[in-house]
Structure 1
Amino acid sequence: MTATSLIGGHALVAGGLATGGLRYAAEIEAEIIQVFVTNPRGWALNAGKPAEDAALRESGVPVFLHTPYLVNMGSPSADTLEKSTASIRHALGRAVEIGALGVVVHTGSAVSQSRDAAMRQLHEHLLPLLDEIPEHGPDLLLEPMAGQGQMLCATVQDLAPYLDALEHHPRANVCLDTCHAFSAGHDLAAPGGVAEMLDALHAVAPGRLKLVHANDSKDACGSKRDRHENIGAGHIGAGAFAELLRHPVAAGVPFCIETPGKADKHREDIQLLKKLREPATAAAASH
Protein backbone atom coordinates (compact mmCIF):
# COMPACT_ATOMS: atom_id res chain seq x y z
CA MET A 1 0.00 0.00 0.00
CA THR A 2 1.39 3.41 -0.99
CA ALA A 3 2.17 5.73 1.91
CA THR A 4 -0.03 8.82 2.11
CA SER A 5 1.61 12.23 1.75
CA LEU A 6 0.53 14.75 4.39
CA ILE A 7 -0.43 18.13 2.93
CA GLY A 8 -0.04 21.54 4.52
CA GLY A 9 1.41 24.99 4.09
CA HIS A 10 3.68 27.71 5.33
CA ALA A 11 2.09 29.00 8.53
CA LEU A 12 1.81 32.64 9.54
CA VAL A 13 2.90 32.87 13.16
CA ALA A 14 1.51 36.23 14.30
CA GLY A 15 0.84 35.94 18.02
CA GLY A 16 3.56 33.39 18.70
CA LEU A 17 5.33 30.54 16.95
CA ALA A 18 2.98 27.86 18.29
CA THR A 19 -0.06 29.98 19.10
CA GLY A 20 -0.15 31.69 15.73
CA GLY A 21 1.28 28.81 13.72
CA LEU A 22 -1.13 26.19 15.00
CA ARG A 23 -4.06 28.58 14.69
CA TYR A 24 -3.18 29.23 11.06
CA ALA A 25 -2.67 25.52 10.41
CA ALA A 26 -6.18 24.83 11.71
CA GLU A 27 -7.62 27.68 9.63
CA ILE A 28 -6.18 26.38 6.37
CA GLU A 29 -6.74 22.71 7.34
CA ALA A 30 -3.03 21.89 7.11
CA GLU A 31 -1.72 18.47 8.12
CA ILE A 32 1.87 19.76 8.30
CA ILE A 33 3.32 23.26 8.62
CA GLN A 34 6.48 25.11 7.67
CA VAL A 35 7.61 28.14 9.69
CA PHE A 36 10.30 30.78 9.92
CA VAL A 37 11.80 31.23 13.37
CA THR A 38 13.58 34.48 12.41
CA ASN A 39 12.94 37.36 10.04
CA PRO A 40 13.16 35.67 6.60
CA ARG A 41 14.80 38.77 5.13
CA GLY A 42 17.30 39.49 7.90
CA TRP A 43 20.23 38.06 9.85
CA ALA A 44 18.95 38.38 13.43
CA LEU A 45 19.23 35.11 15.36
CA ASN A 46 16.25 35.19 17.70
CA ALA A 47 16.02 33.04 20.80
CA GLY A 48 12.94 30.89 21.18
CA LYS A 49 10.29 31.08 23.88
CA PRO A 50 10.32 27.79 25.82
CA ALA A 51 6.54 27.66 26.30
CA GLU A 52 5.86 28.25 22.59
CA ASP A 53 8.55 25.75 21.58
CA ALA A 54 7.07 23.12 23.88
CA ALA A 55 3.54 23.73 22.60
CA LEU A 56 4.65 23.29 19.00
CA ARG A 57 6.78 20.28 19.85
CA GLU A 58 3.90 18.59 21.69
CA SER A 59 1.15 19.51 19.21
CA GLY A 60 1.58 16.39 17.10
CA VAL A 61 1.67 18.52 13.93
CA PRO A 62 4.76 17.74 11.81
CA VAL A 63 6.85 20.92 11.45
CA PHE A 64 9.49 22.04 8.97
CA LEU A 65 11.61 25.14 9.38
CA HIS A 66 12.79 27.42 6.55
CA THR A 67 16.04 29.39 6.79
CA PRO A 68 16.14 33.09 5.81
CA TYR A 69 16.29 34.01 2.13
CA LEU A 70 19.64 35.79 2.57
CA VAL A 71 21.49 32.55 3.32
CA ASN A 72 23.99 31.70 0.57
CA MET A 73 26.74 29.19 1.30
CA GLY A 74 28.18 29.73 -2.20
CA SER A 75 28.75 33.46 -1.78
CA PRO A 76 32.24 34.90 -2.43
CA SER A 77 31.58 37.42 0.34
CA ALA A 78 33.29 36.36 3.57
CA ASP A 79 30.67 38.30 5.56
CA THR A 80 27.74 36.59 3.82
CA LEU A 81 29.37 33.18 4.22
CA GLU A 82 29.97 33.76 7.93
CA LYS A 83 26.40 34.98 8.51
CA SER A 84 24.95 32.15 6.41
CA THR A 85 26.87 29.57 8.43
CA ALA A 86 25.65 31.11 11.68
CA SER A 87 22.07 31.29 10.38
CA ILE A 88 21.97 27.62 9.38
CA ARG A 89 23.55 26.55 12.69
CA HIS A 90 20.94 28.63 14.55
CA ALA A 91 18.09 27.19 12.47
CA LEU A 92 19.23 23.62 13.13
CA GLY A 93 19.39 24.36 16.85
CA ARG A 94 15.93 25.93 16.86
CA ALA A 95 14.62 22.95 14.90
CA VAL A 96 15.79 20.69 17.71
CA GLU A 97 14.00 22.90 20.25
CA ILE A 98 10.66 22.82 18.39
CA GLY A 99 10.96 19.23 17.21
CA ALA A 100 11.06 20.10 13.50
CA LEU A 101 11.65 17.25 11.05
CA GLY A 102 13.77 19.28 8.67
CA VAL A 103 15.38 22.64 7.95
CA VAL A 104 14.99 23.91 4.38
CA VAL A 105 17.89 25.87 2.90
CA HIS A 106 18.23 27.32 -0.58
CA THR A 107 21.18 25.75 -2.37
CA GLY A 108 22.65 29.18 -3.15
CA SER A 109 24.61 30.92 -5.86
CA ALA A 110 28.28 31.24 -6.77
CA VAL A 111 27.55 34.92 -7.61
CA SER A 112 30.87 36.17 -9.05
CA GLN A 113 33.17 33.25 -8.24
CA SER A 114 33.58 29.87 -9.95
CA ARG A 115 31.30 26.95 -9.21
CA ASP A 116 34.34 24.95 -8.13
CA ALA A 117 35.22 27.58 -5.53
CA ALA A 118 31.62 27.63 -4.29
CA MET A 119 31.58 23.83 -4.01
CA ARG A 120 34.79 23.93 -1.97
CA GLN A 121 33.05 26.33 0.40
CA LEU A 122 30.18 23.89 0.83
CA HIS A 123 32.63 21.18 1.77
CA GLU A 124 34.53 23.42 4.18
CA HIS A 125 31.64 25.25 5.85
CA LEU A 126 28.37 23.36 5.31
CA LEU A 127 29.57 19.79 5.78
CA PRO A 128 30.70 20.45 9.40
CA LEU A 129 27.19 21.74 10.24
CA LEU A 130 25.76 18.41 9.14
CA ASP A 131 28.11 16.63 11.52
CA GLU A 132 26.79 18.79 14.38
CA ILE A 133 23.17 17.58 14.00
CA PRO A 134 22.26 15.32 16.95
CA GLU A 135 21.13 11.74 16.35
CA HIS A 136 17.42 12.55 16.61
CA GLY A 137 17.70 16.05 15.18
CA PRO A 138 16.38 17.42 11.88
CA ASP A 139 17.60 16.80 8.36
CA LEU A 140 18.99 19.67 6.33
CA LEU A 141 16.81 19.89 3.21
CA LEU A 142 18.54 21.27 0.13
CA GLU A 143 16.14 23.25 -2.09
CA PRO A 144 17.27 23.70 -5.72
CA MET A 145 16.36 27.06 -7.25
CA ALA A 146 14.78 28.21 -10.53
CA GLY A 147 18.11 28.57 -12.36
CA GLN A 148 18.49 32.35 -12.44
CA GLY A 149 22.00 33.81 -12.28
CA GLN A 150 24.83 31.59 -11.04
CA MET A 151 22.66 29.23 -9.00
CA LEU A 152 24.49 26.11 -7.85
CA CYS A 153 21.43 23.87 -8.13
CA ALA A 154 18.43 24.19 -10.44
CA THR A 155 17.71 20.90 -12.18
CA VAL A 156 17.63 17.76 -10.07
CA GLN A 157 20.78 16.60 -11.87
CA ASP A 158 22.60 19.57 -10.32
CA LEU A 159 22.19 17.89 -6.95
CA ALA A 160 24.84 15.31 -7.89
CA PRO A 161 27.90 17.59 -7.55
CA TYR A 162 26.27 19.38 -4.61
CA LEU A 163 25.90 16.12 -2.70
CA ASP A 164 29.42 15.13 -3.77
CA ALA A 165 30.70 18.30 -2.06
CA LEU A 166 28.86 17.23 1.09
CA GLU A 167 30.24 13.69 0.84
CA HIS A 168 26.66 12.39 0.54
CA HIS A 169 26.18 13.04 4.23
CA PRO A 170 23.13 11.14 5.53
CA ARG A 171 21.60 14.35 6.96
CA ALA A 172 21.82 16.15 3.59
CA ASN A 173 18.43 15.56 2.01
CA VAL A 174 16.19 17.29 -0.52
CA CYS A 175 13.24 19.69 -0.65
CA LEU A 176 11.84 19.80 -4.19
CA ASP A 177 10.02 22.99 -5.21
CA THR A 178 7.77 22.28 -8.20
CA CYS A 179 7.79 25.89 -9.46
CA HIS A 180 11.59 26.00 -9.27
CA ALA A 181 11.95 22.65 -11.06
CA PHE A 182 9.53 23.70 -13.83
CA SER A 183 11.22 27.07 -14.27
CA ALA A 184 14.62 25.34 -14.37
CA GLY A 185 13.49 23.22 -17.32
CA HIS A 186 11.74 20.12 -15.99
CA ASP A 187 8.50 20.11 -18.00
CA LEU A 188 6.13 18.74 -15.40
CA ALA A 189 3.13 19.63 -17.57
CA ALA A 190 4.25 17.40 -20.44
CA PRO A 191 3.14 13.74 -20.63
CA GLY A 192 5.65 11.76 -18.59
CA GLY A 193 7.37 14.91 -17.35
CA VAL A 194 6.75 14.26 -13.66
CA ALA A 195 7.99 10.67 -13.83
CA GLU A 196 11.06 11.74 -15.82
CA MET A 197 12.02 14.34 -13.20
CA LEU A 198 11.40 12.09 -10.19
CA ASP A 199 13.24 9.18 -11.79
CA ALA A 200 16.20 11.52 -12.43
CA LEU A 201 16.04 12.70 -8.80
CA HIS A 202 16.06 9.11 -7.58
CA ALA A 203 19.09 8.38 -9.75
CA VAL A 204 21.21 11.14 -8.13
CA ALA A 205 19.69 11.26 -4.63
CA PRO A 206 17.94 7.95 -3.90
CA GLY A 207 15.76 8.11 -0.80
CA ARG A 208 16.66 11.72 -0.07
CA LEU A 209 13.39 13.48 -1.03
CA LYS A 210 11.89 14.55 2.32
CA LEU A 211 9.63 17.51 1.42
CA VAL A 212 7.86 18.89 -1.65
CA HIS A 213 7.11 22.60 -1.95
CA ALA A 214 3.94 22.33 -4.02
CA ASN A 215 3.65 25.51 -6.08
CA ASP A 216 2.24 26.08 -9.55
CA SER A 217 4.11 28.52 -11.83
CA LYS A 218 3.09 31.87 -13.27
CA ASP A 219 5.72 31.44 -16.00
CA ALA A 220 6.44 28.89 -18.71
CA CYS A 221 8.78 25.93 -18.41
CA GLY A 222 12.43 26.97 -18.59
CA SER A 223 11.70 30.62 -17.77
CA LYS A 224 14.17 30.64 -14.85
CA ARG A 225 11.67 32.85 -13.03
CA ASP A 226 10.59 32.05 -9.48
CA ARG A 227 6.97 33.18 -9.43
CA HIS A 228 4.57 30.89 -7.59
CA GLU A 229 0.93 30.43 -8.59
CA ASN A 230 -2.02 28.71 -6.92
CA ILE A 231 -2.41 24.99 -7.58
CA GLY A 232 -3.96 24.34 -11.00
CA ALA A 233 -3.99 28.03 -11.93
CA GLY A 234 -0.53 28.14 -13.52
CA HIS A 235 1.47 26.54 -16.32
CA ILE A 236 2.10 23.30 -14.43
CA GLY A 237 -1.56 22.37 -13.92
CA ALA A 238 -3.41 20.15 -11.46
CA GLY A 239 -2.69 16.92 -13.33
CA ALA A 240 1.03 17.15 -12.62
CA PHE A 241 0.38 17.40 -8.87
CA ALA A 242 -1.84 14.31 -9.05
CA GLU A 243 1.07 12.45 -10.69
CA LEU A 244 3.52 13.73 -8.09
CA LEU A 245 1.32 12.53 -5.26
CA ARG A 246 1.16 8.97 -6.56
CA HIS A 247 4.70 8.50 -7.89
CA PRO A 248 6.74 6.01 -5.80
CA VAL A 249 9.64 8.47 -5.31
CA ALA A 250 7.28 10.93 -3.60
CA ALA A 251 5.25 8.31 -1.74
CA GLY A 252 4.67 9.46 1.83
CA VAL A 253 6.66 12.68 1.33
CA PRO A 254 4.90 15.73 2.86
CA PHE A 255 3.65 18.45 0.47
CA CYS A 256 3.78 22.10 1.60
CA ILE A 257 2.22 24.93 -0.40
CA GLU A 258 3.87 28.36 -0.68
CA THR A 259 1.24 29.84 -2.97
CA PRO A 260 -0.12 33.41 -3.30
CA GLY A 261 -3.01 34.76 -1.27
CA LYS A 262 -4.19 34.51 2.29
CA ALA A 263 -5.90 31.84 4.37
CA ASP A 264 -8.89 31.30 2.06
CA LYS A 265 -6.69 30.71 -1.01
CA HIS A 266 -4.28 28.54 0.95
CA ARG A 267 -7.18 26.41 2.21
CA GLU A 268 -8.42 26.01 -1.37
CA ASP A 269 -4.97 24.89 -2.56
CA ILE A 270 -4.67 22.39 0.29
CA GLN A 271 -8.16 21.04 -0.34
CA LEU A 272 -7.39 20.59 -4.04
CA LEU A 273 -4.18 18.69 -3.27
CA LYS A 274 -6.07 16.49 -0.80
CA LYS A 275 -8.58 15.66 -3.54
CA LEU A 276 -5.77 14.95 -6.01
CA ARG A 277 -4.19 12.55 -3.54
CA GLU A 278 -7.33 10.36 -3.69
CA PRO A 279 -6.69 7.58 -6.23
CA ALA A 280 -9.84 8.10 -8.32
CA THR A 281 -9.42 11.87 -8.47
CA ALA A 282 -5.71 11.57 -9.27
CA ALA A 283 -6.38 9.17 -12.14
CA ALA A 284 -9.02 11.47 -13.62
CA ALA A 285 -6.81 14.57 -13.28
CA SER A 286 -3.95 12.97 -15.18
CA HIS A 287 -6.04 12.25 -18.28
Structure 2
Amino acid sequence: MRIGAHVRQDTDPLGTAHRLGADIIQMFVTDPQDWKKPETHPQAAALRESGIDVVVHSSYRINVASLNNRLRMPSRKAVVDQAAAAAELGAVGLVVHGGHLRDGEDAALGYENWRKLFERQADKGGFPVPILIENTAGGDHAMARTLDEIARLWDAVGDFDTAGFCLDTCHAWAGGEELLGLVERIQAITGRIDLLHLNNSRDDFDSGRDRHANLESGHIDPDVLIAVLEAAGAPAILETPAEGIAADLDYLRAARG
Protein backbone atom coordinates (compact mmCIF):
# COMPACT_ATOMS: atom_id res chain seq x y z
CA MET A 1 0.00 0.00 0.00
CA ARG A 2 1.51 3.28 -1.13
CA ILE A 3 1.07 6.34 1.11
CA GLY A 4 1.80 9.97 0.33
CA ALA A 5 0.41 13.47 0.14
CA HIS A 6 -0.77 16.30 -2.05
CA VAL A 7 2.30 18.44 -2.69
CA ARG A 8 1.62 22.14 -2.76
CA GLN A 9 5.12 23.11 -3.94
CA ASP A 10 4.31 22.14 -7.51
CA THR A 11 7.57 23.57 -8.86
CA ASP A 12 9.51 20.86 -7.00
CA PRO A 13 7.10 17.97 -6.37
CA LEU A 14 9.89 15.42 -6.51
CA GLY A 15 11.93 17.21 -3.86
CA THR A 16 8.89 17.45 -1.61
CA ALA A 17 8.16 13.75 -2.11
CA HIS A 18 11.70 12.85 -1.09
CA ARG A 19 11.58 15.09 2.00
CA LEU A 20 8.32 13.46 3.11
CA GLY A 21 9.43 9.95 2.25
CA ALA A 22 6.25 9.60 0.19
CA ASP A 23 5.53 6.59 -2.03
CA ILE A 24 2.94 8.53 -4.01
CA ILE A 25 2.21 12.24 -4.52
CA GLN A 26 -0.74 14.20 -5.82
CA MET A 27 -0.26 17.47 -7.68
CA PHE A 28 -1.94 19.98 -9.96
CA VAL A 29 -0.73 20.46 -13.52
CA THR A 30 -2.20 23.95 -13.86
CA ASP A 31 -3.70 26.67 -11.69
CA PRO A 32 -6.63 24.91 -9.98
CA GLN A 33 -8.77 28.05 -10.23
CA ASP A 34 -8.13 28.61 -13.95
CA TRP A 35 -8.92 27.08 -17.35
CA LYS A 36 -5.36 27.46 -18.60
CA LYS A 37 -4.06 24.49 -20.60
CA PRO A 38 -1.22 22.72 -18.76
CA GLU A 39 2.34 23.09 -19.96
CA THR A 40 4.90 20.30 -19.83
CA HIS A 41 6.20 20.08 -16.27
CA PRO A 42 9.99 20.57 -15.98
CA GLN A 43 10.24 17.48 -13.77
CA ALA A 44 8.12 15.25 -16.02
CA ALA A 45 10.93 12.90 -17.04
CA ALA A 46 12.35 12.75 -13.52
CA LEU A 47 8.93 11.96 -12.06
CA ARG A 48 8.38 9.16 -14.58
CA GLU A 49 11.72 7.62 -13.65
CA SER A 50 11.57 8.24 -9.88
CA GLY A 51 9.67 5.17 -8.74
CA ILE A 52 7.26 7.49 -6.92
CA ASP A 53 3.68 7.20 -8.13
CA VAL A 54 1.94 10.39 -9.23
CA VAL A 55 -1.74 11.23 -9.29
CA VAL A 56 -3.02 14.52 -10.70
CA HIS A 57 -5.89 16.45 -9.15
CA SER A 58 -7.91 18.34 -11.73
CA SER A 59 -8.85 22.00 -11.51
CA TYR A 60 -11.55 22.93 -9.02
CA ARG A 61 -13.58 24.82 -11.63
CA ILE A 62 -14.36 21.66 -13.59
CA ASN A 63 -18.02 20.61 -13.48
CA VAL A 64 -18.65 17.95 -16.10
CA ALA A 65 -22.27 17.49 -15.00
CA SER A 66 -23.30 21.11 -15.51
CA LEU A 67 -26.23 21.92 -17.81
CA ASN A 68 -24.66 25.31 -18.52
CA ASN A 69 -22.75 25.10 -21.83
CA ARG A 70 -20.36 27.85 -20.72
CA LEU A 71 -19.23 25.66 -17.83
CA ARG A 72 -19.70 22.13 -19.18
CA MET A 73 -17.83 22.60 -22.46
CA PRO A 74 -14.63 24.09 -20.97
CA SER A 75 -14.88 21.46 -18.23
CA ARG A 76 -14.79 18.66 -20.80
CA LYS A 77 -11.83 20.23 -22.56
CA ALA A 78 -10.01 20.73 -19.26
CA VAL A 79 -10.44 17.07 -18.34
CA VAL A 80 -9.03 16.03 -21.71
CA ASP A 81 -6.09 18.46 -21.47
CA GLN A 82 -5.27 17.61 -17.86
CA ALA A 83 -5.51 13.86 -18.51
CA ALA A 84 -2.95 14.31 -21.29
CA ALA A 85 -0.68 16.27 -18.93
CA ALA A 86 -1.11 13.55 -16.30
CA ALA A 87 -0.02 10.95 -18.84
CA GLU A 88 3.15 12.97 -19.52
CA LEU A 89 4.00 12.58 -15.82
CA GLY A 90 3.33 8.86 -15.91
CA ALA A 91 0.44 9.47 -13.50
CA VAL A 92 -1.78 6.65 -12.29
CA GLY A 93 -4.90 8.76 -12.68
CA LEU A 94 -6.65 12.14 -12.80
CA VAL A 95 -8.98 12.96 -9.90
CA VAL A 96 -12.15 14.84 -10.90
CA HIS A 97 -14.89 15.96 -8.51
CA GLY A 98 -18.38 14.64 -9.18
CA GLY A 99 -19.79 18.12 -9.72
CA HIS A 100 -23.27 19.49 -9.13
CA LEU A 101 -26.32 21.06 -10.74
CA ARG A 102 -28.33 24.15 -9.92
CA ASP A 103 -31.65 24.25 -8.10
CA GLY A 104 -34.49 22.83 -10.21
CA GLU A 105 -32.29 21.10 -12.79
CA ASP A 106 -32.85 17.45 -13.69
CA ALA A 107 -30.19 15.24 -12.12
CA ALA A 108 -30.63 12.67 -14.87
CA LEU A 109 -29.21 15.16 -17.35
CA GLY A 110 -26.18 15.71 -15.13
CA TYR A 111 -25.42 12.01 -15.05
CA GLU A 112 -25.92 11.83 -18.79
CA ASN A 113 -23.37 14.61 -19.21
CA TRP A 114 -20.87 12.49 -17.29
CA ARG A 115 -21.54 9.60 -19.66
CA LYS A 116 -21.08 11.86 -22.67
CA LEU A 117 -17.61 12.84 -21.42
CA PHE A 118 -16.48 9.22 -21.63
CA GLU A 119 -18.39 8.48 -24.84
CA ARG A 120 -16.89 11.43 -26.70
CA GLN A 121 -13.39 10.53 -25.59
CA ALA A 122 -13.90 6.84 -26.39
CA ASP A 123 -14.54 7.86 -29.99
CA LYS A 124 -11.06 9.43 -29.94
CA GLY A 125 -9.29 6.43 -28.44
CA GLY A 126 -10.14 6.96 -24.77
CA PHE A 127 -8.39 8.76 -21.93
CA PRO A 128 -4.66 8.06 -21.49
CA VAL A 129 -5.08 7.72 -17.70
CA PRO A 130 -8.01 6.64 -15.52
CA ILE A 131 -10.48 9.36 -14.56
CA LEU A 132 -10.95 8.92 -10.80
CA ILE A 133 -14.31 10.41 -9.84
CA GLU A 134 -14.27 11.76 -6.28
CA ASN A 135 -17.17 11.88 -3.83
CA THR A 136 -18.02 15.36 -2.61
CA ALA A 137 -18.94 16.83 0.75
CA GLY A 138 -21.93 19.09 0.30
CA GLY A 139 -24.57 20.57 -1.93
CA ASP A 140 -28.22 19.62 -2.34
CA HIS A 141 -27.71 18.95 -6.04
CA ALA A 142 -24.37 17.11 -5.95
CA MET A 143 -23.65 14.27 -8.32
CA ALA A 144 -21.57 12.22 -5.87
CA ARG A 145 -22.33 13.09 -2.26
CA THR A 146 -24.57 10.22 -1.11
CA LEU A 147 -24.32 6.53 -1.93
CA ASP A 148 -27.52 6.80 -3.97
CA GLU A 149 -25.98 9.59 -6.05
CA ILE A 150 -22.75 7.64 -6.50
CA ALA A 151 -24.81 4.65 -7.66
CA ARG A 152 -26.60 6.77 -10.27
CA LEU A 153 -23.30 8.18 -11.46
CA TRP A 154 -21.76 4.73 -11.67
CA ASP A 155 -24.74 3.43 -13.63
CA ALA A 156 -23.87 6.14 -16.18
CA VAL A 157 -20.10 5.64 -16.45
CA GLY A 158 -19.11 2.39 -14.79
CA ASP A 159 -18.91 0.41 -18.03
CA PHE A 160 -16.02 2.55 -19.33
CA ASP A 161 -12.56 1.08 -18.74
CA THR A 162 -11.07 4.43 -17.77
CA ALA A 163 -13.69 5.28 -15.11
CA GLY A 164 -12.33 4.90 -11.57
CA PHE A 165 -13.28 6.03 -8.09
CA CYS A 166 -11.55 8.14 -5.43
CA LEU A 167 -12.95 7.99 -1.89
CA ASP A 168 -12.41 11.04 0.33
CA THR A 169 -13.00 10.35 4.02
CA CYS A 170 -13.61 13.99 5.00
CA HIS A 171 -16.10 14.40 2.16
CA ALA A 172 -17.94 11.21 3.14
CA TRP A 173 -18.09 12.29 6.80
CA ALA A 174 -19.29 15.79 5.90
CA GLY A 175 -21.76 14.27 3.45
CA GLY A 176 -23.41 12.17 6.15
CA GLU A 177 -21.95 8.74 5.38
CA GLU A 178 -20.78 6.58 8.30
CA LEU A 179 -17.15 5.62 7.69
CA LEU A 180 -17.22 2.19 9.30
CA GLY A 181 -18.23 -0.22 6.57
CA LEU A 182 -18.18 2.53 3.94
CA VAL A 183 -15.48 0.85 1.86
CA GLU A 184 -17.62 -2.24 1.46
CA ARG A 185 -20.71 -0.16 0.63
CA ILE A 186 -18.80 1.81 -2.01
CA GLN A 187 -17.29 -1.33 -3.51
CA ALA A 188 -20.75 -2.89 -3.75
CA ILE A 189 -21.65 0.02 -6.04
CA THR A 190 -18.47 0.62 -8.02
CA GLY A 191 -16.59 -2.64 -7.61
CA ARG A 192 -13.45 -0.62 -6.91
CA ILE A 193 -11.68 2.10 -4.96
CA ASP A 194 -8.64 3.24 -6.93
CA LEU A 195 -7.46 5.99 -4.60
CA LEU A 196 -8.13 7.09 -1.04
CA HIS A 197 -8.01 10.70 0.12
CA LEU A 198 -7.37 10.15 3.81
CA ASN A 199 -8.43 13.32 5.60
CA ASN A 200 -9.88 14.18 8.98
CA SER A 201 -12.58 16.84 9.26
CA ARG A 202 -12.68 20.17 11.07
CA ASP A 203 -16.48 19.94 11.22
CA ASP A 204 -19.19 17.71 12.64
CA PHE A 205 -20.73 14.71 10.91
CA ASP A 206 -23.15 15.60 8.06
CA SER A 207 -22.06 19.25 8.14
CA GLY A 208 -21.76 19.51 4.37
CA ARG A 209 -18.52 21.43 4.92
CA ASP A 210 -15.31 20.44 3.14
CA ARG A 211 -12.63 21.51 5.62
CA HIS A 212 -9.80 19.04 6.15
CA ALA A 213 -7.97 18.48 9.44
CA ASN A 214 -4.80 16.60 10.30
CA LEU A 215 -5.36 12.97 11.20
CA GLU A 216 -5.27 13.29 14.99
CA SER A 217 -6.92 16.72 15.33
CA GLY A 218 -10.33 16.47 13.66
CA HIS A 219 -13.80 15.16 14.49
CA ILE A 220 -13.19 11.71 12.99
CA ASP A 221 -11.69 9.06 15.28
CA PRO A 222 -8.18 8.39 13.86
CA ASP A 223 -8.69 4.67 14.48
CA VAL A 224 -11.65 4.80 12.11
CA LEU A 225 -9.46 6.43 9.45
CA ILE A 226 -6.90 3.64 9.84
CA ALA A 227 -9.71 1.07 9.51
CA VAL A 228 -10.83 2.72 6.25
CA LEU A 229 -7.25 2.73 4.98
CA GLU A 230 -6.81 -0.98 5.71
CA ALA A 231 -10.18 -1.92 4.24
CA ALA A 232 -9.70 0.05 1.03
CA GLY A 233 -6.29 -1.42 0.26
CA ALA A 234 -5.76 1.45 -2.18
CA PRO A 235 -3.00 4.05 -2.48
CA ALA A 236 -3.65 6.83 0.04
CA ILE A 237 -3.10 10.55 -0.35
CA LEU A 238 -3.18 13.01 2.54
CA GLU A 239 -4.76 16.39 1.77
CA THR A 240 -4.41 17.53 5.37
CA PRO A 241 -3.04 20.96 6.42
CA ALA A 242 0.54 21.32 5.18
CA GLU A 243 2.17 22.03 8.53
CA GLY A 244 1.05 18.63 9.86
CA ILE A 245 1.51 16.37 6.84
CA ALA A 246 4.90 14.99 7.91
CA ALA A 247 3.48 14.09 11.32
CA ASP A 248 0.42 12.54 9.64
CA LEU A 249 2.64 10.32 7.52
CA ASP A 250 4.62 9.28 10.60
CA TYR A 251 1.34 8.47 12.36
CA LEU A 252 0.20 6.26 9.47
CA ARG A 253 3.51 4.41 9.32
CA ALA A 254 3.42 3.76 13.08
CA ALA A 255 -0.23 2.72 13.04
CA ARG A 256 0.40 0.21 10.29
CA GLY A 257 3.46 -1.20 12.05
* Shorter-chain TM-score tier: over 0.9
Q: Is the 1:130–1:171 Cα contact (8 Å) retained in structure 2?
A: no
State the shift of 1:130 in Å. Answer: 5.4
| 1:271 equivalenced with 2:250 (yes/no) | yes
- For 2:178, the aligned partner's letter is D
- The two structures, once aligned, show a CA RMSD in angstroms of 1.7
Which deviations, in whole Å up to 9, do the C-alpha atoms of 1:207-236 show, x marking residues without a partner? x21100010011111111111100021111
Instruction: After TM superposition, list the pairs within 5 Å mapping 1:1-287 onto structure 2.
Output: 5-14=1-10, 16=11, 20-49=12-41, 52-112=43-103, 113-129=105-121, 132=124, 137-188=128-179, 194-195=180-181, 197-206=182-191, 208-247=192-231, 250-251=232-233, 253-262=234-243, 265-278=244-257
State the shift of 1:133 in Å. Answer: 6.0
State the shift of 1:65 in Å. Answer: 0.3
State the shift of 1:124 in Å. Answer: 2.1
- For 1:233, the aligned partner's letter is S
Q: How many residues align?
A: 256
Identity %: 31
Cα distance change on mapping 1:245 and 1:119 into 2, 3 Å = closer
State the shift of 1:134 in Å. Answer: 5.7
Distance in 2 (CA, whole Å) between partners of 1:266 and 1:37 is: 21
Which deviations, in whole Å up to 9, do the C-alpha atoms of 1:248-286 show, x marking residues without a partner? xx12x1110001133xx11001111122222xxxxxxxx
State the shift of 1:80 in Å. Answer: 0.8
- For 2:193, the aligned partner's letter is L
**TM-score, L = length of structure 2:** 0.93
State the shift of 1:28 in Å. Answer: 2.1
Distance in 1 (CA, whole Å) between partners of 2:114 and 2:6 is: 27
State the shift of 1:132 in Å. Answer: 4.7
Cα distance change on mapping 1:146 and 1:120 into 2, 3 Å = same
In terms of mean alpha carbon deviation, does 109-118 or 218-227 score higher? Answer: 109-118
Q: Is the 2:126–2:162 Cα contact (8 Å) retained in structure 1?
A: no
Which deviations, in whole Å up to 9, do the C-alpha atoms of 1:16-69 show, x marking residues without a partner? 3xxx001111222211100100001111012214x5211111111000001000
Cα distance change on mapping 1:201 and 1:268 into 2, 3 Å = same
Structure 1, unaligned runs of 5 or more: 189-193, 279-287
Q: Is the 1:157–1:201 Cα contact (8 Å) retained in structure 2?
A: no
Distance in 1 (CA, whole Å) between partners of 2:250 and 2:194 is: 21
- For 1:172, the aligned partner's letter is A
Distance in 1 (CA, whole Å) between partners of 2:87 and 2:210 is: 30
Q: Is the 1:130–1:140 Cα contact (8 Å) retained in structure 2?
A: no
State the shift of 1:12 in Å. Answer: 2.4
**TM-score, L = length of structure 1:** 0.84
Q: Is the 1:156–1:181 Cα contact (8 Å) retained in structure 2?
A: no
Q: 1:209 is paired with a residue of what secondary structure? A: coil
Relative contact order (alpha carbons < 8 A, sep ≥ 6): 1 or 2 greater?
A: 1
Cα distance change on mapping 1:156 and 1:25 into 2, 3 Å = farther
Moved over 6 A (4+): none
Q: Is the 2:136–2:172 Cα contact (8 Å) retained in structure 1?
A: yes
State the shift of 1:71 in Å. Answer: 0.2
Cα distance change on mapping 1:53 and 1:46 into 2, 3 Å = same
State the shift of 1:117 in Å. Answer: 1.6
Q: 1:39 is paired with a residue of what secondary structure? A: coil
Q: 1:9 is paired with a residue of what secondary structure? A: strand
Aligned counterpart, 1:284: none
Q: Is the 1:85–1:126 Cα contact (8 Å) retained in structure 2?
A: no
Q: Is the 1:40–1:67 Cα contact (8 Å) retained in structure 2?
A: yes
